[in-house]
Amino acid sequence: MNDVDDISQLLQPGRRAELDWFAAEALPEQLAPTLAAMANSQGGKVLIGLDAVGAAAGVTDTAAAIDRLLQAALALDPPLIIPVPETRLFDGKTILTARVPPGMPHVYAADGRYLRREGAANVPLLSRELRLLIMQRSDTSFETEIARGASLGDIDWNKAKLYVANLSGMSDMNVDKVLLKRGCLVEQDGALRPTNAGILLFGKEPQRFLRGADITAARFAGDTMSDRFTRQDILGTLPDQIKRAEMFLIDHLRKGVQLGQTMARDEQFEYPLEAARELVVNAVAHRDYQISGDGIRLFLFSNRMEVTSPGGLPGPVTIDNIKDERFSRNPVIVQVLSDMGFIERLGYGVDRVIDLMRLKQLRAPRFEERASSFRVELYNEVEAAAAEAKTAPPALILKGSYQGLDINPRQEIALLYLHDAKSNARITNSDLQTLCPDVHPETIRRDLADLVTKNILRKMGQKRGSYYILNQNEAEPVAVEG
């Protein structure tokens, strides 16, 4: 791709949060607010030498234009260090491109004003936004601050001792020294005090000191929030929350059954359990704990699973680079959870979630960043490409239910047998007896007769020559909630 194509493609969506342009003669005081706003947001590009509508006007004195651009960057408080601007040809004219990298280490002010990008505009940072940004980019993070009102007596030392005992190379160290080394304790005026991370990881009552540091888990009957739901408020330390959230998933994720080649009955969750668990671990490890008004939300709907965590994506991480970029808002929490085997320290697990969903031929996860939260959604529908190629997993009969009707495990096996279209167009009493050898023949007969009564099967033939086929209306099974 040549310069013209590159610039044309860049300009096509117009001015936006990550792109703005100026005339060749733009002064440092005109450029500085945009540079500061981009540095306080997700970075971006500034083009010099375009007119108001984005047409090439050109830069005649390149050195002077670069000098004005760098003056604007260095005039910010603190000075903004950016890569040297580059020259490009666009419609036969020379223009400059300057890049403001994402994830800058400071909060920048232009002429005393703290700004951020909102669309194509530079807008003032609200007081709360400014405080959060300063906290995120300062050397001291919220997790390593002293937990207000907490003392060493608020640490569950049995949990701390168990953690240290399982640490490779540190098991013979004093527990308080290990917690100090990890950032769970700090020394103040000659005494040890627990940090926010220490309380979250090892506290007796973490939510007493950090409100909102919990998980609200709910299973809704349909695909929207309604008054029909099962709810569980998950409290305690972060390791305990992860374990309890996993149990909630095991108890409330819908399960389907299918028969393998050996006709063994195999139960499967509507999503890969490891992918669902990974999302919970990521939310617990990387959420913004200084947002006290809300906790993590784990919501299960009929068609999807949502995990929403307080705080946007940290540092330079964006929706576009989430698979590759690595940055931790809570390095102390991540390290300890890694020590405990909950999380891979160098990654977010996003790659693994995507791969697990792909292996099950399910729709790719959806990521959404809002003003003060981040959400991941898993869908239990087969991705379109797999459906079109007819390579989707065989239809599942959800545990205890088929087409909204109650069925027992033996009836599940009979229906799965019939849905093996390659060879099983019919089933007899003897076939089902072979599949369920420990069941009395009379029970087998009643099970098949019951499926006929429910209009799921149709009986063909008489006496010894009788067999059962799927009712024509039931040829295409629909998975329903059990």
Least confident span in 275-279, 316-320, 333-337, 438-442: 316-320
For residue 350, what pLDDT is reported? 83
For residue 195, what pLDDT is reported? 97
* 195 lies in some domain: yes
In this structure, are 199 and 224 located in the same domain? no
Q: What is the distance between the alpha carbons of residues 10 and 31, in angstroms, rounded to a whole number?
A: 19
* 482 lies in some domain: no
Kindly indicate the confidence band of residue 1, based on its pLDDT and cuts at 50, 70 and 90: very low
- More confidently predicted of 319 and 217: 217
Q: pLDDT at residue 346 above 90?
A: no
Q: What is the mean pLDDT of residues 387-393?
A: 42
Q: What is the distance between the alpha carbons of residues 256 and 274, in angstroms, rounded to a whole number?
A: 16
**Residue recorded with tokens 């490779």:** 168
Least confident span in 53-67, 177-191, 401-415: 401-415
Cα 53 to Cα 12, 57, 435: the distances in Å are 11, 10, 73
Q: How many other CB atoms are there within 10 angstroms of residue 6's CB atom?
A: 13
In this structure, are 343 and 265 located in the same domain? yes
* 480 lies in some domain: no
* 391 lies in some domain: no
In this structure, are 22 and 113 located in the same domain? yes
Q: Which domain holds residue 334?
A: 215-384
Task: Give me 52's structure tokens.
Answer: 């108001």
* 295 lies in some domain: yes
Q: What is the distance between the alpha carbons of residues 91 and 95, in angstroms, rounded to a whole number?
A: 10
For residue 348, what pLDDT is reported? 52
For residue 398, what pLDDT is reported? 62
* 178 lies in some domain: yes
**Residue recorded with tokens 């929403």:** 308
Q: pLDDT at residue 482 above 60?
A: no
In this structure, are 348 and 236 located in the same domain? yes
CATH label of the domain that carries residue 321: 3.30.565.60
In this structure, are 270 and 411 located in the same domain? no
**Tens digits of residue pLDDT in 42-62:** 999 999 999 999 999 999 999
pTM: 0.58
Kindly indicate the confidence band of residue 477, based on its pLDDT and cuts at 50, 70 and 90: very low
For residue 161, what pLDDT is reported? 96
In this structure, are 78 and 191 located in the same domain? no
Q: What is the mean pLDDT of residues 367-372?
A: 85
CATH label of the domain that carries residue 49: 3.30.950.30
In this structure, are 245 and 280 located in the same domain? yes
Of the spans 276-290, 302-316, 415-429, which averages the highest pLDDT? 276-290
The last residue of a domain, from among 358, 384, 410 = 384
Could you give the percent of the chain with pLDDT greater than 70?
Answer: 86
DSSP strand pairing (366-369 vs 405-406)? unpaired
Task: Give me 345's structure tokens.
Answer: 């320290």
For residue 462, what pLDDT is reported? 81
Asked whether 164 and 173 are in contact (CB, 8 A), the reply is yes
In this structure, are 219 and 192 located in the same domain? no
Q: What is the mean pLDDT of the chain?
A: 85
CATH label of the domain that carries residue 463: 1.10.10.10
The last residue of a domain, from among 357, 384, 411 = 384
For residue 347, what pLDDT is reported? 46
In this structure, are 460 and 402 located in the same domain? yes
Q: What is the distance between the alpha carbons of residues 120 and 125, in angstroms, rounded to a whole number?
A: 15
For residue 39, what pLDDT is reported? 95
**Tens digits of residue pLDDT in 70-121:** 999 999 999 998 888 999 999 999 999 999 998 787 899 999 999 999 999 9
For residue 278, what pLDDT is reported? 93
For residue 129, what pLDDT is reported? 86
The last residue of a domain, from among 351, 384, 417 = 384
Q: What is the mean pLDDT of residues 207-212?
A: 94
In this structure, are 72 and 198 located in the same domain? no
* 389 lies in some domain: no
Kindly indicate the confidence band of residue 367, based on its pLDDT and cuts at 50, 70 and 90: very high
In this structure, are 27 and 153 located in the same domain? no
* 357 lies in some domain: yes
Fill in the DSSP letter of residue 383.
P
- What is residue 15's three-state secondary structure? coil
Q: pLDDT at residue 419 above 80?
A: no
Least confident span in 14-18, 196-200, 245-249, 433-437: 433-437
For residue 416, what pLDDT is reported? 81
Q: How many domains does the chain have?
A: 4
Could you give the percent of the chain with pLDDT greater than 90?
Answer: 55
In this structure, are 460 and 426 located in the same domain? yes
